Structure 1
Amino acid sequence: MYFWNRRFLGALTFVLLGSVAAAETLVCSVEGVSQSGWFPSQLSVEFAEDRKAAQVQASVGSVFMPVTLVRRSDNSYLLDWNAERAFVAQQAVASRDRYRLLVNFEKMKVSLQILPEVVTAEISLWGFGTCAAEAVQAEK
């Protein structure tokens, strides 16, 4: 129950912040280093203007997911979330894998780690990529 309340509050905060200010969107191409498992080749990351809230979309047509956002430095942020089935539309099976995305605004690079829901001998999946920024005016 706590997870859903936190997700709802994160989404509500993003909507409220986004309705009064411009959003900043990064479109990132990611290449998986690991050879096994599904890996998103493109991510859209939308930040509220003050970068205190964010949401992520893993593929065209999938839903945006609210994330836990932690500022790591002046130019980098860590986004952390557990994916729902709708988020990973191309994935064959439903999962609740944990995603951790490190975004560096200065270098416009990202690092993505996927931690499997079920602990196995398989290590986490890693990917790296670059981003392009575009300013999007939020609807009022």
Structure 2
Amino acid sequence: MSVPAYGILALVLTLSGAGARAEGSFQCDLQPISRASWIPGRINVRFSDDFTTAKVTDAAFGVSVSARVSQRSATTYALSWSLPMLTDSGRAKPRFRAALNTANLKMSIQSINVGSTMQPPRGWGSCRREPSLSLVAQNRLGRN
């Protein structure tokens, strides 16, 4: 391919993705490891294209919150977020941290109780990709 042809190909690819900013999105079905703990049953995780930020939506409450993201390996991302909830005693913020492996589509999750000396409630589950991954996100995940 000649240099002008590469330029045309790059222009076509740029324009084809210019209309929408698609993000990496996963839907995860989770279950607690111990029956005595509360872990969200279903969450949606929507990463930005560069996988440095994410929005987490708890399906039960329909609340979307920002999550901190850090990459742990080529395919694993750690997420941390707080879910604002109203309780009888006032406003509580359950905090969660999770690890999402984008290669095997598995997630582990913990509910963090600040000040508690008890073992944090844990859960696990499987995820599925939402079909709207951009080319940048697909390349980031190693998909072509």
Same fold, TM-score > 0.5, yes or no = yes
Report what 2:98 is aligned to.
101
Aligned twin of 2:26: 26
Displacement after TM superposition at 1:81 (Å) = 1.6
Q: Matches of residues 31-50 of structure 1 in structure 2 within 5 Å?
A: 31-50=31-50
Contact 1:21 1:137 in 2 (8 A): no
Quote the residue 2:108 is aligned against: 111
Counterpart contact for 2:25–2:45, Cα < 8 Å: yes
**Distance change in 2, residues 1:124/1:34 (3 Å):** same
Provide TM-score, normalisation by structure 1: 0.71
- Tell me the residue number matched to 2:124: 128
Whether the 8 Å CA contact 2:52–2:69 is kept in 1: the answer is: yes
Superposition RMSD in Å: 2.5
Contact 2:40/2:60 (8 A) holds in 1: no
The TM-score normalised by the length of structure 2 is 0.69
Q: Which amino acid counterpart does residue 103 of structure 1 have in structure 2?
A: L
Aligned to 2:13: none
Where does structure 1 differ by over 6 angstroms across 4 or more consecutive aligned residues?
A: none
2:31 and 2:124 in contact (8 A); partners too: yes
Question: How many angstroms does 1:77 deviate by?
Answer: 0.3
Please tell me whether the aligned partners of residues 43 and 57 of structure 2 are also in contact (alpha carbons under 8 angstroms). yes
**Identical aligned residues as a percent:** 23
Q: Is the 8 A contact 1:29 1:43 kept in 2?
A: yes
Q: Does the CA-based 8 Å contact 1:47-1:53 persist in structure 2? A: yes
Task: For residue 81 of structure 2, give the secondary structure of its aligned residue in structure 1.
Answer: strand
Task: Work out the number of aligned pairs and report it.
Answer: 115
The alpha-carbon distance between structure 1 residues 60 and 24, as it changes in their structure 2 partners (threshold 3 A), is farther
* Residue 39 of structure 1, CA deviation: 1.7
Amino acid at match of 2:109: L
Q: 1:97 to 1:61 in 2, by over 3 A?
A: closer
Deviations 1:49-68 (A, max 9, x none): 22121110112552211011
The CA distance in 2 between the partners of 1:76 and 1:109, in whole Å, is: 10
Matched-pair contact (CA < 8 Å) for 1:22–1:137: yes
Q: Which letter maps to 1:113?
A: Q
- Which structure has the larger Rg? 2
Give the aligned residue type for 1:104.
N
Q: Specify every segment of 5 or more residues in structure 2 that has no aligned partner in the other structure, as ranges.
A: 1-18, 135-144
Instruction: Show CA shifts across 1:4-47 (max 9, x none).
Output: xxxxxxxxxxxxxxx96211210001010122232211110001
Deviation at 1:118, TM superposition (A): 4.0
